Protein backbone atom coordinates (compact mmCIF):
# COMPACT_ATOMS: atom_id res chain seq x y z
CA UNK A 1 0.00 0.00 0.00
CA UNK A 2 1.49 3.26 -1.03
CA UNK A 3 1.32 6.17 1.34
CA UNK A 4 -0.83 9.17 0.40
CA UNK A 5 1.70 11.59 -1.05
CA UNK A 6 -0.72 14.41 -0.37
CA UNK A 7 -0.63 13.92 3.39
CA UNK A 8 2.08 16.12 4.81
CA UNK A 9 3.19 17.01 8.28
CA UNK A 10 3.61 20.75 8.12
CA UNK A 11 4.34 23.55 10.48
CA UNK A 12 1.94 26.47 10.18
CA UNK A 13 4.63 28.79 8.88
CA UNK A 14 5.80 26.26 6.29
CA UNK A 15 2.23 25.64 5.17
CA UNK A 16 1.85 29.37 4.62
CA UNK A 17 4.93 29.48 2.38
CA UNK A 18 3.91 26.42 0.34
CA UNK A 19 0.39 27.73 -0.12
CA UNK A 20 1.71 31.08 -1.30
CA UNK A 21 3.70 29.37 -4.01
CA UNK A 22 0.67 27.24 -4.88
CA UNK A 23 -1.32 30.49 -5.24
CA UNK A 24 1.24 31.82 -7.69
CA UNK A 25 3.45 33.94 -5.44
CA UNK A 26 6.77 34.41 -7.23
CA UNK A 27 8.46 37.06 -5.12
CA UNK A 28 8.98 37.14 -1.40
CA UNK A 29 10.68 40.04 0.32
CA UNK A 30 11.14 39.84 4.05
CA UNK A 31 13.13 40.60 7.13
CA UNK A 32 13.86 38.11 9.92
CA UNK A 33 11.51 38.32 12.88
CA UNK A 34 10.31 35.78 15.43
CA UNK A 35 7.95 33.93 15.25
CA UNK A 36 7.44 34.29 11.49
CA UNK A 37 10.97 33.61 10.20
CA UNK A 38 10.23 30.06 9.02
CA UNK A 39 8.01 31.54 6.30
CA UNK A 40 11.00 33.42 4.88
CA UNK A 41 13.24 30.39 5.33
CA UNK A 42 10.83 28.18 3.39
CA UNK A 43 10.49 30.77 0.67
CA UNK A 44 14.25 31.04 0.29
CA UNK A 45 14.34 27.29 -0.35
CA UNK A 46 11.25 26.95 -2.51
CA UNK A 47 11.07 30.05 -4.70
CA UNK A 48 14.26 29.41 -6.72
CA UNK A 49 12.84 25.98 -7.64
CA UNK A 50 9.87 27.57 -9.38
CA UNK A 51 11.71 30.46 -11.01
CA UNK A 52 10.71 32.92 -8.31
CA UNK A 53 12.76 35.42 -6.36
CA UNK A 54 13.44 35.49 -2.64
CA UNK A 55 15.09 38.60 -1.29
CA UNK A 56 15.92 39.41 2.30
CA UNK A 57 15.70 43.18 2.43
CA UNK A 58 17.46 45.63 4.73
CA UNK A 59 14.40 46.20 6.90
CA UNK A 60 10.66 45.66 7.25
CA UNK A 61 9.84 48.88 5.41
CA UNK A 62 11.94 47.89 2.42
CA UNK A 63 10.36 44.42 2.37
CA UNK A 64 6.92 45.93 2.05
CA UNK A 65 8.17 48.36 -0.60
CA UNK A 66 9.76 45.58 -2.65
CA UNK A 67 6.59 43.47 -2.45
CA UNK A 68 4.49 46.35 -3.78
CA UNK A 69 7.07 47.06 -6.49
CA UNK A 70 7.02 43.43 -7.63
CA UNK A 71 3.25 43.30 -7.72
CA UNK A 72 3.10 46.59 -9.61
CA UNK A 73 5.25 44.80 -12.16
CA UNK A 74 2.68 42.02 -12.36
CA UNK A 75 4.22 39.34 -10.14
CA UNK A 76 2.30 38.06 -7.11
CA UNK A 77 4.26 38.90 -3.98
CA UNK A 78 4.16 38.39 -0.23
CA UNK A 79 5.92 39.34 2.97
CA UNK A 80 5.61 38.00 6.51
CA UNK A 81 6.36 39.58 9.84
CA UNK A 82 5.32 39.92 13.46
CA UNK A 83 4.26 42.79 15.76
CA UNK A 84 7.18 45.26 15.58
CA UNK A 85 7.65 44.60 11.88
CA UNK A 86 3.93 44.90 11.24
CA UNK A 87 4.07 48.39 12.73
CA UNK A 88 6.88 49.30 10.32
CA UNK A 89 4.94 48.05 7.31
CA UNK A 90 1.93 50.25 7.91
CA UNK A 91 2.99 53.22 5.78
CA UNK A 92 3.59 51.19 2.63
CA UNK A 93 0.53 49.08 3.39
CA UNK A 94 -1.50 52.26 3.07
CA UNK A 95 0.26 52.98 -0.22
CA UNK A 96 -0.79 49.55 -1.55
CA UNK A 97 -4.37 50.17 -0.38
CA UNK A 98 -4.56 53.58 -2.07
CA UNK A 99 -2.81 52.59 -5.29
CA UNK A 100 -4.76 49.30 -5.29
CA UNK A 101 -1.75 47.07 -5.78
CA UNK A 102 -2.53 43.48 -4.71
CA UNK A 103 -0.24 41.90 -2.11
CA UNK A 104 -0.31 39.61 0.90
CA UNK A 105 1.08 40.44 4.35
CA UNK A 106 1.32 37.74 7.01
CA UNK A 107 1.50 38.76 10.65
CA UNK A 108 2.35 35.89 13.00
CA UNK A 109 1.27 37.59 16.20
CA UNK A 110 3.42 37.58 19.33
CA UNK A 111 3.17 39.24 22.73
CA UNK A 112 3.31 43.02 22.62
CA UNK A 113 3.47 45.97 22.83
CA UNK A 114 6.99 46.77 21.63
CA UNK A 115 9.42 43.84 21.64
CA UNK A 116 7.04 42.20 24.10
CA UNK A 117 7.32 38.41 24.19
CA UNK A 118 8.74 37.35 20.80
CA UNK A 119 8.32 33.62 21.34
CA UNK A 120 4.86 33.75 22.93
CA UNK A 121 1.47 33.83 21.21
CA UNK A 122 -0.90 36.78 21.32
CA UNK A 123 -3.78 38.27 19.36
CA UNK A 124 -2.94 41.89 20.02
CA UNK A 125 -2.93 43.19 16.45
CA UNK A 126 -6.62 42.84 15.56
CA UNK A 127 -7.22 46.57 15.64
CA UNK A 128 -3.84 47.44 14.15
CA UNK A 129 -4.67 45.20 11.20
CA UNK A 130 -7.91 47.17 10.77
CA UNK A 131 -6.71 50.68 11.45
CA UNK A 132 -2.90 50.53 11.40
CA UNK A 133 -2.18 52.72 8.42
CA UNK A 134 -3.31 56.32 8.45
CA UNK A 135 -6.47 57.57 6.82
CA UNK A 136 -9.64 55.72 5.89
CA UNK A 137 -8.83 52.68 3.81
CA UNK A 138 -10.28 49.32 2.84
CA UNK A 139 -9.02 46.42 4.95
CA UNK A 140 -9.18 42.70 4.41
CA UNK A 141 -7.98 40.43 7.22
CA UNK A 142 -8.14 36.63 7.45
CA UNK A 143 -7.59 34.52 10.58
CA UNK A 144 -7.08 30.75 10.21
CA UNK A 145 -7.21 28.35 13.20
CA UNK A 146 -5.20 25.35 12.03
CA UNK A 147 -2.25 24.48 9.81
CA UNK A 148 -4.54 23.20 7.06
CA UNK A 149 -6.55 26.38 7.29
CA UNK A 150 -3.35 28.45 7.09
CA UNK A 151 -2.78 26.72 3.76
CA UNK A 152 -6.32 27.34 2.55
CA UNK A 153 -6.57 30.92 3.76
CA UNK A 154 -3.18 31.87 2.31
CA UNK A 155 -4.41 30.80 -1.12
CA UNK A 156 -7.67 32.64 -0.48
CA UNK A 157 -5.68 35.74 0.55
CA UNK A 158 -3.88 35.80 -2.80
CA UNK A 159 -7.10 35.20 -4.69
CA UNK A 160 -8.88 38.02 -2.88
CA UNK A 161 -5.93 40.37 -3.30
CA UNK A 162 -6.02 39.75 -7.04
CA UNK A 163 -9.80 39.90 -7.30
CA UNK A 164 -10.17 43.10 -5.30
CA UNK A 165 -6.82 44.78 -6.06
CA UNK A 166 -6.03 45.28 -2.40
CA UNK A 167 -3.52 44.24 0.25
CA UNK A 168 -4.75 41.24 2.26
CA UNK A 169 -3.50 40.59 5.78
CA UNK A 170 -3.33 37.09 7.26
CA UNK A 171 -3.26 37.03 11.05
CA UNK A 172 -2.31 34.01 13.03
CA UNK A 173 -0.23 33.62 16.14
CA UNK A 174 2.93 31.96 17.38
CA UNK A 175 1.04 28.81 18.38
CA UNK A 176 -0.34 28.16 14.89
CA UNK A 177 2.86 29.36 13.24
CA UNK A 178 4.86 26.71 15.05
CA UNK A 179 2.20 24.02 15.33
CA UNK A 180 2.84 20.88 13.28
CA UNK A 181 -0.27 19.15 11.94
CA UNK A 182 -1.16 16.84 9.10
CA UNK A 183 -2.41 18.63 6.05
CA UNK A 184 -4.21 16.75 3.32
CA UNK A 185 -3.22 18.54 0.15
CA UNK A 186 -5.78 16.57 -1.90
CA UNK A 187 -8.28 19.13 -0.63
CA UNK A 188 -6.45 21.75 -2.65
CA UNK A 189 -5.72 19.93 -5.90
CA UNK A 190 -8.57 21.53 -7.81
CA UNK A 191 -8.51 24.84 -6.00
CA UNK A 192 -9.12 27.78 -8.25
CA UNK A 193 -6.42 30.40 -8.58
CA UNK A 194 -7.51 33.95 -9.31
CA UNK A 195 -5.40 36.32 -11.39
CA UNK A 196 -6.04 40.03 -11.64
CA UNK A 197 -7.55 41.44 -14.80
CA UNK A 198 -5.05 43.12 -17.10
CA UNK A 199 -5.88 45.98 -19.37
CA UNK A 200 -5.97 45.17 -23.07
CA UNK A 201 -3.04 46.96 -24.66
CA UNK A 202 -5.28 48.00 -27.54
CA UNK A 203 -7.80 49.89 -25.38
CA UNK A 204 -7.91 53.53 -26.45
CA UNK A 205 -8.01 56.23 -23.78
CA UNK A 206 -7.42 53.73 -20.97
CA UNK A 207 -8.09 55.15 -17.50
CA UNK A 208 -6.24 53.16 -14.82
CA UNK A 209 -8.65 54.02 -12.00
CA UNK A 210 -11.97 54.00 -13.83
CA UNK A 211 -14.70 51.86 -12.29
CA UNK A 212 -15.72 49.14 -14.76
CA UNK A 213 -18.86 48.61 -12.66
CA UNK A 214 -17.72 46.23 -9.96
CA UNK A 215 -15.56 48.83 -8.20
CA UNK A 216 -12.30 47.17 -9.22
CA UNK A 217 -10.27 49.07 -11.83
CA UNK A 218 -8.43 47.03 -14.45
CA UNK A 219 -4.66 47.12 -14.00
CA UNK A 220 -2.13 48.08 -16.64
CA UNK A 221 0.90 45.81 -16.87
CA UNK A 222 4.10 47.83 -17.34
CA UNK A 223 5.46 47.13 -20.79
CA UNK A 224 2.09 46.39 -22.38
CA UNK A 225 1.71 49.87 -23.78
CA UNK A 226 -0.39 51.82 -21.31
CA UNK A 227 2.12 54.12 -19.73
CA UNK A 228 0.23 55.00 -16.57
CA UNK A 229 1.09 56.94 -13.44
CA UNK A 230 0.83 55.34 -10.01
CA UNK A 231 0.89 57.66 -7.01
CA UNK A 232 0.17 57.62 -3.30
CA UNK A 233 -1.41 61.02 -3.75
CA UNK A 234 -5.18 60.96 -3.98
CA UNK A 235 -5.87 60.58 -7.66
CA UNK A 236 -8.62 60.69 -10.22
CA UNK A 237 -9.61 58.06 -12.77
CA UNK A 238 -6.62 58.99 -14.92
CA UNK A 239 -4.22 58.18 -12.06
CA UNK A 240 -2.94 61.72 -11.66
CA UNK A 241 -3.16 63.63 -8.38
CA UNK A 242 -6.27 65.66 -7.71
CA UNK A 243 -7.68 67.78 -4.91
CA UNK A 244 -10.97 68.37 -6.67
CA UNK A 245 -13.53 67.59 -3.95
CA UNK A 246 -15.90 65.90 -6.34
CA UNK A 247 -13.22 63.65 -7.84
CA UNK A 248 -11.83 62.84 -4.38
CA UNK A 249 -15.30 61.94 -3.12
CA UNK A 250 -15.86 59.73 -6.16
CA UNK A 251 -12.51 57.99 -5.67
CA UNK A 252 -12.82 57.48 -1.92
CA UNK A 253 -16.34 56.10 -2.12
CA UNK A 254 -15.29 53.57 -4.73
CA UNK A 255 -12.15 52.65 -2.74
CA UNK A 256 -13.99 52.20 0.55
CA UNK A 257 -16.97 50.56 -1.10
CA UNK A 258 -15.24 47.98 -3.27
CA UNK A 259 -14.83 45.34 -0.56
CA UNK A 260 -18.34 46.04 0.71
CA UNK A 261 -19.57 45.35 -2.83
CA UNK A 262 -17.94 41.92 -2.75
CA UNK A 263 -18.87 40.89 0.81
CA UNK A 264 -20.30 37.59 -0.40
CA UNK A 265 -16.95 36.55 -1.85
CA UNK A 266 -14.98 37.97 1.06
CA UNK A 267 -16.83 36.70 4.12
CA UNK A 268 -15.88 33.30 5.44
CA UNK A 269 -17.37 32.07 8.67
CA UNK A 270 -17.62 28.89 10.70
CA UNK A 271 -20.81 28.69 12.76
CA UNK A 272 -21.45 25.72 15.05
CA UNK A 273 -24.47 24.99 17.24
CA UNK A 274 -25.73 28.56 17.16
CA UNK A 275 -29.31 27.78 16.09
CA UNK A 276 -30.57 27.26 19.63
CA UNK A 277 -27.65 28.86 21.48
CA UNK A 278 -28.22 30.90 24.62
CA UNK A 279 -24.48 31.40 24.88
CA UNK A 280 -22.47 32.20 21.75
CA UNK A 281 -18.69 32.25 21.90
CA UNK A 282 -17.11 34.50 19.29
CA UNK A 283 -13.52 33.48 18.71
CA UNK A 284 -10.84 33.37 16.02
CA UNK A 285 -7.47 31.75 15.43
CA UNK A 286 -6.06 29.33 18.00
CA UNK A 287 -8.44 30.69 20.65
CA UNK A 288 -11.39 29.43 18.59
CA UNK A 289 -10.11 25.88 19.03
CA UNK A 290 -10.32 26.28 22.78
CA UNK A 291 -13.72 27.90 22.32
CA UNK A 292 -14.90 24.96 20.21
CA UNK A 293 -13.94 22.58 22.98
CA UNK A 294 -15.60 24.87 25.53
CA UNK A 295 -18.85 24.70 23.56
CA UNK A 296 -18.76 20.90 23.89
CA UNK A 297 -18.04 21.07 27.61
CA UNK A 298 -20.87 23.55 28.19
CA UNK A 299 -23.29 21.43 26.16
CA UNK A 300 -22.38 18.45 28.37
CA UNK A 301 -23.38 20.61 31.34
CA UNK A 302 -26.71 21.32 29.68
CA UNK A 303 -25.84 24.85 28.59
CA UNK A 304 -26.96 25.57 25.02
CA UNK A 305 -23.71 27.00 23.71
CA UNK A 306 -22.51 27.75 20.18
CA UNK A 307 -19.45 28.99 18.32
CA UNK A 308 -19.27 31.87 15.90
CA UNK A 309 -15.88 31.95 14.20
CA UNK A 310 -15.09 34.65 11.66
CA UNK A 311 -12.28 33.49 9.36
CA UNK A 312 -12.68 36.88 7.74
CA UNK A 313 -12.05 39.26 10.65
CA UNK A 314 -12.30 42.44 8.60
CA UNK A 315 -14.70 43.31 7.21
CA UNK A 316 -16.47 41.71 10.17
CA UNK A 317 -19.28 39.44 8.91
CA UNK A 318 -22.03 41.55 10.47
CA UNK A 319 -25.17 39.94 9.07
CA UNK A 320 -24.03 36.40 9.83
CA UNK A 321 -23.02 37.46 13.32
CA UNK A 322 -26.42 39.03 13.99
CA UNK A 323 -28.16 35.90 12.77
CA UNK A 324 -25.97 33.63 14.91
CA UNK A 325 -26.42 35.64 18.10
CA UNK A 326 -30.08 36.53 17.53
CA UNK A 327 -31.41 34.58 20.51
CA UNK A 328 -28.31 34.55 22.67
CA UNK A 329 -28.48 35.93 26.19
CA UNK A 330 -24.74 35.94 26.49
CA UNK A 331 -21.92 36.43 24.01
CA UNK A 332 -18.45 35.53 25.21
CA UNK A 333 -15.40 36.86 23.39
CA UNK A 334 -12.17 35.11 24.40
CA UNK A 335 -9.11 36.87 22.97
CA UNK A 336 -5.39 36.89 23.69
CA UNK A 337 -5.54 40.66 24.11
CA UNK A 338 -7.12 43.19 26.47
CA UNK A 339 -10.31 43.25 24.38
CA UNK A 340 -10.22 44.18 20.71
CA UNK A 341 -12.73 42.27 18.58
CA UNK A 342 -15.13 42.55 21.53
CA UNK A 343 -15.57 46.22 20.60
CA UNK A 344 -17.03 45.18 17.25
CA UNK A 345 -19.19 42.54 18.96
CA UNK A 346 -20.55 45.09 21.43
CA UNK A 347 -21.38 47.40 18.55
CA UNK A 348 -23.43 44.74 16.81
CA UNK A 349 -25.30 42.74 19.51
CA UNK A 350 -28.92 43.35 20.30
CA UNK A 351 -29.78 45.27 23.48
CA UNK A 352 -30.87 42.21 25.43
CA UNK A 353 -27.62 40.37 24.92
CA UNK A 354 -24.84 40.65 27.46
CA UNK A 355 -21.25 40.62 26.25
CA UNK A 356 -18.24 39.51 28.28
CA UNK A 357 -14.61 39.09 27.36
CA UNK A 358 -12.15 36.40 28.36
CA UNK A 359 -8.93 38.35 28.10
CA UNK A 360 -5.83 36.34 28.85
CA UNK A 361 -2.74 37.61 27.11
CA UNK A 362 0.14 36.71 29.33
CA UNK A 363 2.03 34.39 27.00
CA UNK A 364 -0.02 31.18 26.98
CA UNK A 365 -2.98 30.26 24.79
CA UNK A 366 -6.43 30.44 26.38
CA UNK A 367 -7.70 27.04 27.56
CA UNK A 368 -11.23 25.63 27.16
CA UNK A 369 -11.51 25.51 30.96
CA UNK A 370 -10.85 29.23 31.25
CA UNK A 371 -13.67 29.94 28.81
CA UNK A 372 -16.06 27.53 30.55
CA UNK A 373 -15.27 29.08 33.94
CA UNK A 374 -16.03 32.53 32.60
CA UNK A 375 -19.31 31.28 31.12
CA UNK A 376 -20.28 29.76 34.48
CA UNK A 377 -19.52 33.00 36.32
CA UNK A 378 -21.54 35.04 33.86
CA UNK A 379 -24.47 32.61 33.87
CA UNK A 380 -24.54 32.54 37.69
CA UNK A 381 -24.63 36.35 37.72
CA UNK A 382 -27.86 36.39 35.73
Partner 1 sequence: MMSDVAQNQFNIKEYIRQDLFPHFMCPGCGHGIALRALLNAVHDLDIDKNKLAVVSGIGCSGRVGAYIDANTFHTTHGRPLAFATGLKLARPDLEVIVITGDGDCLAIGGNHMIHACRRNLNLTCLMLNNEVYGMTGGQVSPTTSMDRFTTTTQYGNYEPVFDACKLAEGAGAGFIGREMTLQTPALRDLIKEAISHQGFSFVEVLSDCTEVFGRKNDLGESAEMVLAQKAGYRSDSYGTVVDEPFKPRGMQTGVLLRTERPEYAATYQQHNAEKLKQ
What residues line the site for partner 1 (CB under 8 A)? 26-27, 29, 48-49, 53, 55, 57-59, 61-75, 77, 91-92, 95, 222-225, 227-233, 240-241
Cβ contact 124:86 at 8 Å = no
Pick between residue 81 and residue 312 the one whose CB is nearest to partner 1. Answer: 81
Least spacing, CB of residue 112 vs partner 1, in Å: 23
Q: For residue 118, with 0-12 CB atoms within 10 Å meaning exposed, 13-18 middle and 19 or more buried, which class applies? A: middle
Least spacing, CB of residue 95 vs partner 1, in Å: 5
DSSP state letter for 59? S
How many C-alpha atoms does 35 have within 13 Å on its Cβ side? 24
Least spacing, CB of residue 237 vs partner 1, in Å: 14
Pick between residue 221 and residue 327 the one whose CB is nearest to partner 1. Answer: 221
Pick between residue 212 and residue 241 the one whose CB is nearest to partner 1. Answer: 241
Using alpha carbons, select from 118, 114, 145 the residue that is nearest to residue 283.
145
Least spacing, CB of residue 205 vs partner 1, in Å: 12
Pick between residue 224 and residue 346 the one whose CB is nearest to partner 1. Answer: 224
Pick between residue 201 and residue 350 the one whose CB is nearest to partner 1. Answer: 201
* Bridge partner residues of 168 (DSSP): 104
What is the rounded end-to-end Cα distance, in angstroms, of the chain?
Answer: 58
Least spacing, CB of residue 230 vs partner 1, in Å: 5
Least spacing, CB of residue 87 vs partner 1, in Å: 15
Pick between residue 55 and residue 210 the one whose CB is nearest to partner 1. Answer: 55
Cβ contact 243:250 at 8 Å = no
H/E stretch holding 358: strand 354-359
H/E stretch holding 243: none
Amino acid sequence: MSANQNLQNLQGNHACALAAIRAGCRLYAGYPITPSSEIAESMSAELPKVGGVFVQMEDEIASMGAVIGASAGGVKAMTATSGPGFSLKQENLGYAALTEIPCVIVNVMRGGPSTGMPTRPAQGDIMQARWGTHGDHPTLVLAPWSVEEVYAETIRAFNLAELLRTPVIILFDETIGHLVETVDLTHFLDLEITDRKWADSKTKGFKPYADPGDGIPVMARPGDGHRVHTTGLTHGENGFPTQDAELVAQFMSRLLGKIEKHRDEVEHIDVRHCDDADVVIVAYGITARAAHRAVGMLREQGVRAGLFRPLTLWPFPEAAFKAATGHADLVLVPEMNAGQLILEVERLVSEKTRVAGVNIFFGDPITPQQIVEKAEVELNDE
